[in-house]
Amino acid sequence: MAEYSWPAIGHEKIIDFLERALVNNKVAQTYIFVGSGDLGKSTIALAFARNLQGASENFNSDLHILEPIEDKKSISIDQVRDFIKILSLSSFSNSYKIGVIKWAELLSSEAKSALLKTLEEPQDKVIVILLVDKEESLPETILSRAQVLYFNPVPASVIYDYLIKTYNTNRSLAKDLANLAIGRPLMAIKYLENSELYRRYWERAETWLKIISSDLTARWSLLDSLFNDKTWSKQAVESALDTLALAEGLARDLLLLTLGQRDRLQHSAIRPQLEEAQKWLAETHDSDATPAILREFQLIAQAKEYLAANVNPRLVLEQIIINL
């Protein structure tokens, strides 16, 4: 029996399912991998492609990856047409031709229609894998023609053990990274391999905690140090979304502290700062921080809607700090 190679962390059920398809020669012609970012969808897709092709490298002439062009908000119909044309050509190695579409939720309506026509008339030994955060971002006509696999968060204990065994990480750091990742192993690895990025994350987290536990005057200068891009650029939007995700995670931790769930904190590395912010919120809201924390959740959800409606990212964040 052929030997297959897979990533060493998490998603055992999905790996087992895909390997059985390989062993029994029952590979579907379209797959949809569903799950949030940094769970490992792309890593598993590339490993599946390698195993299908019997290749030792991630990339070869019969593997094609489609993703948004930088500074473009969607994957265009022209990109999909080129993608389909490449997949229709003969294999160089007489093996499978595999197309992976990253961020498939960004396919334009016309691009989805063009792709659907290909999925309706699949070619022999052509496999298409779409990676999405949420399955509802794709039309039912595409979903119904695919094998849908759901990627769930990986337990913190699994990430913790992996970091220690694979990277020889010290236990304290491995615990902090595993908690911070909230089930996303690639996030833990990314921060482990980039200490400067990891340091900046904690700086940003501490700045946000200072914002929510300061008066309005102090919040403005703190926001300037955290986010001072006043453009409508794609980079500004992405940075604002990152800031909202950070704020949401910290708000969740503050709520857990209020409920006495200290062992479940995502940002366990800065627990003293979290406790200080939670104490300040309680003291300034009649000894109960819960309403203020729930208010922050509402403001964050509203901010995401504003960003989706193309409101200036800086103004979106300003509205939060004004209304906290």
Mean pLDDT by 10 residues, the chain (324 residues): 80 95 94 94 94 70 88 89 92 86 95 92 91 95 96 95 95 96 95 96 97 92 92 88 96 95 94 95 88 95 94 95 92
pLDDT, residue 57, reads 57
The structure's pTM equals 0.86
pLDDT, residue 56, reads 57
Three-state SS annotation for the chain: CCCCCCCCCCCHHHHHHHHHHHHCCCCCCEEEEECCCCCCHHHHHHHHHHHHHCCCCCCCCCEEEECCCCCCCCECHHHHHHHHHHHHCCCCCCCCEEEEECCHHHECHHHHHHHHHHHHCCCCCEEEEEEECCHHHCCHHHHCCCEEEECCCCCHHHHHHHHHHHHCCCHHHHHHHHHHHCCCHHHHHHHHHCHHHHHHHHHHHHHHHHHHCCCHHHHHHHHHHHCCCCCCCHHHHHHHHHHHHHHHHHHHHHHHHHCCCHHHCCCHHHHHHHHHHHHHHHHCCCCCCHHHHHHHHHHHHHHHHHHHCCCCHHHHHHHHHHHC
pLDDT, residue 94, reads 78
